């Protein structure tokens, strides 16, 4: 029996977003595929085409979840501390893997695709709620996902306004494509912010307290993953509500109650995270080290390029029409930029998904420009789609360059993204023979790999998650050069010592002579010592 599925506009729309989302995720995967393809007999790929340090942290937390942890504990520092119920995405992913029993790297990639799909569908659903025309919907979606700045032009001209490279190529938080390409928790947060915005717009239109309950639940889940990101959509919802009140010339107390419930739902975790990050003796030290400051504002001007003038036109149109959704998008932008220069150490973390509200306003601006030109030059109306395609192409160049450029870059085996393959059997030996949670002493690059690829913890590894990192770096260097005070090792909490290629290169030591230390693993390039009996 033949089954005929009617081809409706809705089916065409689902097919379009499913196809574009798949192509987006394929494009985002090309750099990692290139990295693995570039592996040689002597070099192994670290697994991430950008920020392999944080990738190592996330993989270590995934492994912690696989070991049964439910709370976050630093795996790059030896100071005793209690686990915290924050930043739990990879912990829970690891817990899920106790059922699936996949290789951690494979699970990470599967999660990147699954949550990437979720984020892309959520972005498109929000855009469909804001715009009715199909051309506007698709242009806005492509601008939101691939939208970036003029970093590619800066590279061609060889000009940047300061010592920092264009933000198009390193500020992961702000760009949807960049986040999807790297870390699944970015996609989770992106999806959460878009779904909340969408649910609240639907609530204002048709009511329904189940939507408010859904928003509250998503807010709580988002705080467990990223404690600060939800403030962006909080202010957006407030702006949407205020616009509705101005339109109706009255305050609707049901809206006040709804916003109050959303705020109350967030309050317990807000207090918990504030107390943890500010007052806890261990986590407060991490907070001081976790600096992600904003560059000068001119970087943001270049970093979102052509989106700015179009967004400004769209903002003027939104103010004139009192459009709630677009004014909510404007509040998202203003909130993010204001907090990006507030007196916090994590300034640029408040720019999560900034291309989404910029795309909403830019599409409205583009519509206004098109309408203005149509009235004066009717003949160009037939070329609207071509002009939109050209704009999307120009605005997306940095995202495409990010994918293809990093792929070519990885083919040259840059040192920060590959490691000596001789470490692989040594790490496998450690993972098999050491007790889970034992501490290993090594150079920082080795520490990152140990935490990423084994169930062990390290004395030194990550600049932010190794507490008092500069002092420990000096201490480890002094130890490997034979200058550390006697008895230090016995009080360090270290159970194993790894001496390999990174230790030789980092500290200029060709051989390591340790008295009363048992050599438990020895290969041509790597030696592992056991500390104590």
pLDDT tens-digit series, residues 441-484: 999 999 999 999 999 999 999 999 999 999 999 999 999 998 88
3-state secondary structure 9-76: HHHHHHHHHHHHHHHHHHHHHHHHHHHHHCCCCCEEECCCCCCHHHHHHHHHHHHHHHCCCCCECCCC
What are the residues whose beta carbons fall under 8 Å from the beta carbon of 369, sequence distance 6 or more? 310, 313
Task: Check if the beta carbon of residue 48 is closer than 8 Å to that of residue 34.
Answer: no
CA distance 351 to 88: 21
Tokens of 247: 């339109």
What are the residues whose beta carbons fall under 8 Å from the beta carbon of 510, sequence distance 6 or more? 504
CA distance 462 to 443: 11
| Domain chopping of the chain, boundaries | 111-410, 422-530
Tokens of 517: 């230390």
Among residues 433, 425, 447, 453, the alpha carbon closest in space to that of 524 is found at: 425
CA distance 23 to 113: 11
Query: Reduced to 3 states, what is the DSSP secondary structure of residue 253?
Result: helix
CA distance 104 to 361: 40
Map tokens 């700015």 to a residue. 308
- What letter does residue 291 receive in the DSSP assignment? -
Among residues 136, 140, 62, the alpha carbon closest in space to that of 103 is found at: 62
What are the residues whose beta carbons fall under 8 Å from the beta carbon of 286, sequence distance 6 or more? 74, 277, 464, 465, 467
What are the residues whose beta carbons fall under 8 Å from the beta carbon of 468, sequence distance 6 or more? 285
Q: Which helix (H) or strand (E) holds 528?
A: strand 527-530
Tokens of 328: 């909510």
Q: Tell me the pLDDT of the chain (533 aa) as tens digits.
A: 444 555 677 889 999 999 999 999 999 999 999 999 999 999 999 999 999 999 999 999 999 999 999 999 999 999 999 999 999 999 999 999 999 999 999 999 999 999 999 999 999 999 999 999 999 999 999 999 999 999 999 999 999 998 899 999 999 999 999 999 999 999 999 999 999 999 999 999 999 999 999 999 999 999 999 999 999 999 999 999 999 999 999 999 999 999 999 999 999 999 999 999 999 999 999 999 999 999 999 999 999 999 999 999 999 999 999 999 999 999 999 999 999 999 999 999 999 999 999 999 999 999 999 888 877 777 666 667 778 889 999 999 999 999 999 999 999 999 999 999 999 999 999 999 999 999 999 999 999 999 999 999 999 999 999 999 999 999 999 999 988 887 888 889 999 999 999 999 999 998 887 877 899 999 989 999 999 87
Strand partners, 441: 497
- How many other β-carbons are positioned within 10 Å of the β-carbon of residue 39? 13
The whole-number pLDDT of residue 1 equals 43
Tokens of 44: 């192994």
Map tokens 């995720």 to a residue. 25
CA distance 430 to 433: 5
Say if strands 439-441 and 496-499 run parallel, antiparallel, or are unpaired: parallel
Tokens of 272: 């918990």
Among residues 409, 396, 446, 407, the alpha carbon closest in space to that of 426 is found at: 446
Q: Which helix (H) or strand (E) holds 496?
A: strand 496-499
Query: Reduced to 3 states, what is the DSSP secondary structure of residue 440?
Result: strand
C-alpha dist (Å) from residue 339 to 172, 244, 331, 354, 360: 17, 25, 12, 13, 21
Tokens of 258: 């709804």
- How many other β-carbons are positioned within 10 Å of the β-carbon of residue 326? 27
Task: Check if the beta carbon of residue 454 is closer than 8 Å to that of residue 430.
Answer: yes
């Amino acid at each position: 029996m033949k089954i005929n599925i009617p081809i409706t506009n809705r089916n065409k729309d689902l097919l379009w977003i499913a196809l574009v989302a798949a192509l987006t995720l394929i494009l985002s995967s090309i750099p990692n595929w290139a990295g693995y393809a570039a592996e040689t007999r002597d070099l192994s790929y670290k697994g991430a085409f950008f920020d392999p340090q944080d990738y190592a942290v996330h993989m270590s937390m995934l492994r912690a979840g696989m070991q049964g942890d439910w709370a976050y504990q630093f795996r790059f520092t030896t100071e005793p501390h209690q686990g915290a119920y924050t930043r739990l995405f990879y912990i829970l992913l690891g817990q899920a893997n106790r059922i699936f029993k996949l290789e951690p790297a494979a699970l990470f990639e599967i999660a990147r695709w699954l949550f990437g799909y979720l984020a892309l569908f959520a972005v498109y659903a929000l855009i469909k709620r804001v715009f009715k025309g199909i051309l506007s919907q698709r242009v806005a979606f492509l601008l939101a996902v691939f939208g970036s700045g003029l970093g590619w032009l800066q590279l061609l001209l060889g000009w940047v306004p300061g010592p920092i490279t264009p933000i198009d190529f390193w500020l992961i938080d702000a760009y949807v494509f960049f986040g999807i390409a790297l870390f699944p928790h970015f996609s989770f947060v992106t999806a959460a912010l878009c779904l909340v915005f969408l649910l609240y717009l639907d609530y204002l239109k048709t009511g329904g307290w189940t939507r408010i309950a859904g928003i509250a639940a998503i807010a709580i889940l988002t705080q467990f993953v990223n404690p600060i990101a939800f403030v962006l959509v909080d202010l957006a919802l407030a702006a949407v509500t205020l616009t509705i009140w101005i339109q109706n010339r009255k305050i609707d107390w049901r809206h006040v109650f709804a916003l109050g419930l959303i705020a109350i739902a967030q309050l317990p975790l807000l207090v918990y995270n504030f107390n943890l990050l500010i007052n806890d003796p261990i986590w407060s030290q991490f907070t001081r080290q976790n600096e992600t400051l904003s560059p000068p504002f001119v970087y943001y001007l270049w970093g979102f390029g052509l989106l700015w003038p179009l967004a400004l036109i769209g903002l003027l149109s939104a103010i004139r029409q009192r459009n709630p959704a677009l004014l909510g998008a404007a509040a998202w932008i203003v909130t993010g930029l204001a907090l990006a220069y507030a007196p916090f150490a994590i300034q640029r973390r408040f720019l999560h998904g900034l291309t989404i509200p910029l795309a909403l306003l830019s599409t409205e601006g583009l519509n206004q420009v098109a309408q203005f030109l149509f009235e004066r030059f009717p003949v160009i109306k037939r070329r609207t789609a071509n002009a939109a395609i050209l704009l999307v192409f120009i605005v997306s160049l940095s995202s495409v360059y990010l994918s293809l450029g990093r792929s070519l870059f990885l083919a040259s085996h840059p040192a920060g993204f590959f490691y000596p393959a001789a470490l692989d059997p040594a790490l496998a030996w450690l993972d098999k023979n050491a007790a889970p949670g034992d501490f290993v002493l090594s150079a920082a690059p080795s520490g990152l790999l140990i935490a990423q690829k084994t169930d062990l913890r390290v004395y030194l590894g990550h600049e932010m998650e190794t507490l008092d990192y500069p002092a420990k770096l000096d201490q480890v260097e002094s130890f490997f050069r034979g200058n550390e005070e006697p008895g230090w090792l016995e009080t360090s909490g270290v159970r194993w010592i790894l001496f390999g290629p990174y230790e030789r290169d980092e500290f200029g030591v060709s051989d390591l002579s340790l008295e009363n230390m048992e050599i438990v693993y020895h290969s041509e390039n790597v030696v592992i010592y056991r500390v104590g009996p």
